[in-house]
Amino acid sequence: MTHINLRNVTFNRKLEVDKHRNMSGGSASRKRHRDVIQNVTISISDGERVGLLGPNGAGKTTLLRLMAGIFRPDKGSVVREGEVSTFLDGGFGFDQQLTGRSNCESRAIMARMRGVRAKEMVKWVEEFTELGDYFDQPVRTYSTGMIMRLVFAIGTAQTHQILLIDEGLSTADAHFQTKALGRLREMYNNAPIIVLASHSIALLKQHCQRGIVIIDGQVAFDGTLESASEFYSQHPRGNHEVSRVW
Amino acid sequence: MNTFFSPLNQIVVERRIWSHLGWRDLKSRYVRTIIGPWWSAANLITVVFGMSLAVGLLSNTRTLSEAPRIALVLALWTLISSNLVEAVDLFEGEKGLLLNMEIAEVSLIARMVWRNTLIFAHNIAVIILVFLIAGQDLNTRLLILLPIAFVISAGTLFPAYAFARSIFFLRDLKTILPSVIQLVFFLTPILWIPPSSGPMAVIFAINPAGWVIEFARLFILENIFDSYLLVKMLMFTFASLLLISLSAKSMYSIRKLL
């Protein structure tokens, strides 16, 4: 059964906290550890659609990275059952000098795909983006809209049981939007687990039933999305006491 | 994951990813150029002939008599120095990959080393060409360059990681390192042959880059198999692999610094 369990997870990062002048008059900085996620326990089971709310820098993206296995917790444990698709920064690993096809093939290899599966992904992206001859042109020649199409298609070409999405997925021009929205709907409907981090309550309400408010790296609220958004609007930064109504 | 040997294991497991990315780097670097990766070979050949001319004129010997030695040692030096100099930007330059996918940090080092090994493979053609032009016998001893490239790649894994890691604490390294490597160039038997005594002999005794270059020169050009140098080289390579294995935990913490 697909699930994600975070138990007492703490994760620290080295942040530049102390800027000072160095001998030549320039500025240097010291790095200090700071717990960006503190003692978080979350359990997400099959069929749940979870919205993560919280101010900038609260730890939403870090939490998604912990769930995806990109970050490993310093304390506590993350147990995950099911393959994960992450949509954090769609354009990662792109090489502007190479063609859309080459970039797509690269992403397939990075996603550990082989043979027919990889070829099918490239074919699917080529058809979905409708880039035509541009698919075999260097990405640096693309317009912003064309890059967005390619990023979207590569990002959504391969979807797994667990979708971890940061700030939704942006789409390009109006014509492509309908197609992309259809693809998103298909993805959202088929994935057993979705965790969507966003500032947009409207977007979260559209796709999620459960809401978790993260403030200063802690779970400040965990309940229905309706009550979570209400909690968040009343306590955009404060009240760190954990409140659970789920 | 944080177990002993896990970085070496990850190199094996993720070989398809880092080897592909290494090829892709090369493709991207030379895309739309007429001779592609052979440009690195063309650059090397220019330096070899320029240096041979200078050395020949200064030492009153036949102009191209030193060319085979210079081609051989410069090709090896280029592989060693590129692995070290390019390391400084390794993790910061690949922030996108490290923060968006589960890829082992050591795979990024392997990617860089592989990319430079591919360039070295092109440079072997320069060595062969220079041997032919200078009238040096081509023999099967040249094949030793393949295991030597492997030894250099494995031996530079840890030093490259150490430089890539240190940049987070000492940003000045990015500026200093090319100059330091340039200094090491003069302290490595490239423009000179190791004497048996004196200060240069001491420098040679503590310079791992010198051991591998001198071992290759003696074997290929002089038909001398120096087992003492070989043991030193292999011990250094083993130490590099051991240290990279012990760095699993420290390697993982790189993501926290990005």
Here the CATH number for the domain that contains residue A236 is: 3.40.50.300
- The predicted model gives B212-217 an average pLDDT of 97
Please report whether residue A184 resides in a domain. Answer: no
DSSP state of A98: S
Q: Which residue of A has its CA nearest to B22?
A: A106
Q: Residue A36's closest CA among A8, A15, A18, A6?
A: A15
Same-domain status, A101 and A73:
no
Task: Pick the range with the lowest mean pLDDT from A173-177, B95-99, B154-158.
Answer: A173-177
Percent helix / strand / coil, chain A, rounded to 5: 35, 35, 30
Confidence band of B58 (pLDDT split at 50, 70, 90)? confident
Three-state DSSP state, A53:
strand
Structure tokens at A82: 């099911």
Q: How far is A222 from chain B (nearest CA, A)?
A: 26
Q: Residue A100's closest CA among A127, A66, A64, A81?
A: A127
Do B16 and A109 make contact, defined as CB atoms within 8 angstroms?
Answer: yes
Mutate to test the interface with A, among B19, B101, B171 (most CBs of A within 10 A): B101
Q: How far is A70 from chain B (nearest CA, A)?
A: 5
- The span from the CA of B31 to the CA of B242, in Å, is 37
Measure the CA dihedral B160/B162/B168/B173, to 10°.
-70
Please report whether residue A46 resides in a domain. Answer: yes
Q: How far is A93 from chain B (nearest CA, A)?
A: 6
Do A70 and B99 make contact, defined as CB atoms within 8 angstroms?
Answer: yes
Give A88-114 pLDDT, tens digit per residue: 877 788 899 999 999 999 999 998 888
Do B256 and A13 make contact, defined as CB atoms within 8 angstroms?
Answer: yes
Q: Are strands A3-21 and A27-45 parallel, antiparallel or unpaired?
A: antiparallel
Please report whether residue A214 resides in a domain. Answer: yes
Do B101 and A31 make contact, defined as CB atoms within 8 angstroms?
Answer: no
Q: How far is B116 from chain A (nearest CA, A)?
A: 19
> What residues of chain A lie within 8 A of the CB of B97, using their CB?
92-93, 110
pLDDT of amino acid A24: 55
Q: Residue B178's closest CA among B81, B111, B43, B108?
A: B81
DSSP state of A24: T
Please report whether residue A171 resides in a domain. Answer: no
Cross-strand partners of A28: A20
Please report whether residue A129 resides in a domain. Answer: yes
Domain limits for position A145? 91-158
pLDDT of amino acid A169: 63
The full DSSP string for chain B is: --STTHHHHHHHHTHHHHHHHHHHHHHHHTTT-SSTTHHHHHHHHHHHHHHHHHHHHHTTS-TTTTHHHHHHHHHHHHHHHHHHHGGGGHHHHTHHHHHHS---HHHHHHHHHHHHHHHHHHHHHHHHHHHHHHTPPP-GGGGGHHHHHHHHHHHHHHHHHHHHHHTTT-TTHHHHHHHHHHHHHHHSTTSS---SSSHHHHHHHT-HHHHHHHHHHHHHHS----HHHHHHHHHHHHHHHHHHHHTHHHHHTHHHH-
Backbone angles phi, psi at A218, to 5 degrees: -125, 155
Check if the interface score ipTM surpasses 0.90: no
Give B242-255 pLDDT, tens digit per residue: 999 998 888 888 88
Alpha helix stretches (DSSP H) within chain A: 60-68, 100-110, 115-129, 144-157, 174-190, 201-207, 225-234
Average pLDDT, chain B: 91
> What residues of chain B lie within 8 A of the CB of A167, using their CB?
none
- The span from the CA of A70 to the CA of B102, in Å, is 5
What's the number of domains chain A is made of?
2
The CA–CA distances, whole Å, from A229 to A14, B30, B158, B235 equal 31, 52, 49, 62
> What residues of chain B lie within 8 A of the CB of A71, using their CB?
255-256
Same-domain status, A150 and A117:
yes
Mutate to test the interface with B, among A10, A11, A14 (most CBs of B within 10 A): A14
Please report whether residue A163 resides in a domain. Answer: no
Please report whether residue A78 resides in a domain. Answer: yes
> What residues of chain B lie within 8 A of the CB of A139, using their CB?
none
Please report whether residue A165 resides in a domain. Answer: no
Q: Which residue of A has its CA nearest to B32?
A: A97
Tens place of pLDDT per residue across chain A (246 aa) = 889 999 999 999 877 655 555 555 555 556 677 889 999 999 999 999 999 999 988 999 999 999 999 999 999 999 999 988 888 877 788 899 999 999 999 999 998 888 899 999 999 999 999 999 999 999 999 998 899 899 889 988 877 789 898 876 666 567 787 888 888 888 888 889 999 998 888 888 888 999 999 999 999 999 999 999 999 988 766 544 444 443
Phi-psi region of B4 (alpha: psi -120 to 50; beta: other; left: phi over 0): beta
Do B96 and A71 make contact, defined as CB atoms within 8 angstroms?
Answer: no
Q: How far is B17 from chain A (nearest CA, A)?
A: 6
Same-domain status, A22 and A77:
yes
Do B21 and A106 make contact, defined as CB atoms within 8 angstroms?
Answer: yes
Do A92 and B17 make contact, defined as CB atoms within 8 angstroms?
Answer: no
Q: Residue A78's closest CA among A86, A67, A93?
A: A67
